[in-house]
Amino acid sequence: MSESETKRKKKALTNAEKQKRYREKQKERGKQEMRGYLTPQAKECYQLIAEQTQWNDSIILSNAVRLTYAAYKNGQIGLLNSWLNKNDL
């Protein structure tokens, strides 16, 4: 059997199989998927960040978590939360 015949006989992956394979590769790289819903204020902030930085969803989310943790570790989480509430963000 020739190589082209073998390729034709291979079954194409479904979208679900491709997504599963992608998620498994990401897990192997030590990455974790997070899901959630954005408030209208957060969505507006997200859009501004994405436009100005050209970051994708993963980078924006990773940096948001890291910045929140930095605020927490430096005793500034209350100040950060207060600022967000005062500025309706």
In a domain, 15, yes or no: no
Asked if residue 20 has pLDDT above 70, the reply is yes
Place of tokens 């902030």: 45
Q: Domain range spanning residue 66? A: 39-89
74 in a domain, yes or no? yes
pLDDT in tens, 31-63: 888 888 999 999 999 999 999 999 999 999 999
Residue 60: CB partners within 8 Å, gap ≥ 6? 46, 49, 50, 53
**What's the structural domain count of the chain?**
1
- 30 lies in a domain? no
List helix spans (H) across 10-39: 15-28
Q: What is the reported pLDDT for 2? A: 61
Q: How far apart are CA 18 and CA 85, in angstroms?
A: 41
> What whole-number distance in Å separates Cα of residue 12 and Cα of residue 22?
15
Model confidence, pTM: 0.69
Judge whether 75 lies within some domain: yes
Chain centre to alpha carbon of residue 83:
24
Q: What is the pLDDT of residue 6?
A: 57
Range among 29-33, 71-75, 85-89 rated most confident: 71-75
